[in-house]
Structure 1
């Protein structure tokens, strides 16, 4: 698919018709409070919807209660196994590349600041990580799963933000487009898929082409469930590269909101890191993953740790070689990744019980696997020449 300034501008004018209509109807009928109260009890797929739920909401939840008909379940299973093998690296990329990338888009940073979306950044980061973990479960779309209800709520949350900002005249739609428009939703999908893969490659992680493509495919499924226009979304990694390059060239830059949100993110993870000696590692890792120019726009501080972090791919490359050559080494590193992810999420939630939590069922996936022949290593698509 070809992406141009004209086609991207068109995407800025549309939101999510289905979710937008549901939210508008709930507000018109004064049923938002009732909906929110009842939806607190809807947490898993297949659960009986509560009595008294507004009809428009009930219809929406039933219509969006299943995965798209076109989903390739074999590809989704490949994505799940890829996640299990790389979960700690993926968590690192989400935290220190994907989120800062959002802040590099001034109107996105403005929206997050306007809606107070990151006044509690630990909750936001924990929910992002847990959302991904739920997606990568073997029963993510079956009865008892938490993924689909979470996605349904996120889709309505986006619609409610659009509703509030436009109704209260707190958003310049003429200049900025619709809040959380299709271009930005696709851009977000690229941040959480292609940019994660780019970051893993930059860290020196050995990625198979098959695994990288499956992980990207899984986020295509997520995008469809969240209301992304499937006629406009990239279908391949090469198309994704062209879209992301053009999107960032159109929008990325410095903003006070972006710098402020980045400072919140750095402070959050410096609290997570024990003591103070290793605090600069957080900034150094962000700078390594997004590059000096973007890091300067976000006021990411420099430190002597920058050189140390730049050497990290060499160490990770050694660990990946051990994993590739030894079934037990692979099991040990996977188990370490699982425990690290669990520790990070539990720290971010500060011990509170949250709807998004790492399920016990994942534990069964950490048995010692048999030897697997090495697959063709993935390399990122080349940058687009405009």
Structure 2
């Protein structure tokens, strides 16, 4: 295979994204032009961490220290300082009250229910496109270490929901900065392999990041609705607003999610994204299978229920959240629990609505869930370190500098 042109010079409509003409006919030229740009755009601010000549062992501790302070100092590497500055720009014009409402809305729903929406919900959707699945399968850890990887993704989200979490130096600020750096690290490693990206565009592109942003907004909250946790339109706007701040901190340009303020408001964009996803492939099925197994192991630790019961329960939620077509394509088993859970959803919704009408009970629920999140949050996660490099499928460690 001939080495492809440098990614910075490639801007064609990727072959695996389907017909540009058909996309334009349905979604318009403006959206097509912006997505074509996003297919190849990466994150120059974060990518500079691993193209400046400093080693990973130099970069990672320097970045952790700067994120914990929330600001650069005289010992901060210039590229680290630039990343801190860019993340802080996400807070410009911040509506603190709206952000706090979004945080409290999240905490009004039990972490286990959110965990279902995140694992069988968000991550199944993440893996369902070959643009992401093919890249992730190369690292090996996402299949061999699915239990830990699921826990780490959940751990990052926990960091976002503590008081003042997104302020410089806050837990969410720290964890999000490290997640952004790891994306850049993985992107650098894959770019150096000289692979052909003509099918879907750059690895962990801006488009991939936008799609993943919806995996923490549209996908879980549409799924939670089906589970009996439907929010009001205002509550959805508040939660989406919190994630817009997080998305900007991750390096996504805000024009891509402008106007995406709830499930209904985001439907056309989700349809447009799915139009260029590509077909669910074997890599996606491997990742979903590993995810399901990992979720069952984690749920057993929390509940003590038998694994076969939890496997059926998890499969039922995948089908409730995503529907049978996606579940079948991902190789998810049929579930005898599905009709039972679907019948229980109205009762869950009724209890949730009653809870929100009782200010004292709601406050107690939020505090209980915040305490649980605080107890489960850890800084001992792979994305917080990576000082040795990125572990690849063959077990080797690939460094980013």
TM-score (norm 2): 0.77
Question: Residue 355 and residue 121 in structure 1: after superposition, are their counterparts in 2 closer, same or farther (change >3 A)?
Answer: closer
Question: Residue 47 and residue 61 in structure 1: after superposition, are their counterparts in 2 closer, same or farther (change >3 A)?
Answer: closer
Is 2:240 the counterpart of 1:247?
A: no
CA contact (8 A) 1:38 1:50 kept: no
Q: Which of 136, 145, 153 is matched with 1:112 structurally? A: 136
Q: Which of 279, 292, 295 is matched with 1:269 structurally? A: 295
CA contact (8 A) 1:64 1:225 kept: yes
1:100 Cα offset (Å): 0.4
Is 2:182 the counterpart of 1:151?
A: no
Paired with 2:208 and 2:188, the residues of 1 have a C-alpha distance of: 16
Question: Residue 156 and residue 144 in structure 1: after superposition, are their counterparts in 2 closer, same or farther (change >3 A)?
Answer: closer
Q: Write the mapping of 1:20-35 to structure 2, written as runs, cut at 5 A.
A: 20-25=47-52, 29-35=53-59
Count the aligned residue pairs.
347
Q: Tell me which residue corresponds to 1:19.
A: 46
Post-superposition CA distance 1:58-90 (Å, at most 9, x none): 443345345431322121111112112124333
Paired with 2:78 and 2:32, the residues of 1 have a C-alpha distance of: 40
More off after superposition, 320-329 vs 183-192: 320-329
Paired with 1:249 and 1:123, the residues of 2 have a C-alpha distance of: 32
Q: Tell me which residue corresponds to 2:325.
A: 293
Paired with 1:17 and 1:303, the residues of 2 have a C-alpha distance of: 45
1:355 Cα offset (Å): 9.2
Paired with 1:148 and 1:333, the residues of 2 have a C-alpha distance of: 25
Question: Residue 323 and residue 174 in structure 1: after superposition, are their counterparts in 2 closer, same or farther (change >3 A)?
Answer: same
CA contact (8 A) 1:79 1:215 kept: yes
Give the SS at the match of 2:199.
helix
Question: Residue 356 and residue 185 in structure 1: after superposition, are their counterparts in 2 closer, same or farther (change >3 A)?
Answer: closer
CA contact (8 A) 1:45 1:149 kept: no
Q: Write the mapping of 1:48-67 to structure 2, written as runs, cut at 5 A.
A: 51=75, 53-65=76-88, 67=90
Post-superposition CA distance 1:81-123 (Å, at most 9, x none): 2112124333321122111001111121111112335242233
Paired with 1:332 and 1:64, the residues of 2 have a C-alpha distance of: 33
More off after superposition, 253-262 vs 293-302: 253-262
More off after superposition, 249-258 vs 65-74: 65-74
Question: Residue 130 and residue 23 in structure 1: after superposition, are their counterparts in 2 closer, same or farther (change >3 A)?
Answer: same
1:48 Cα offset (Å): 6.9
Q: Tell me which residue corresponds to 2:200.
A: 176
Give the SS at the match of 1:44.
helix
Q: CA RMSD in A?
A: 3.0
TM-score (norm 1): 0.79
Question: Residue 134 and residue 242 in structure 1: after superposition, are their counterparts in 2 closer, same or farther (change >3 A)?
Answer: same
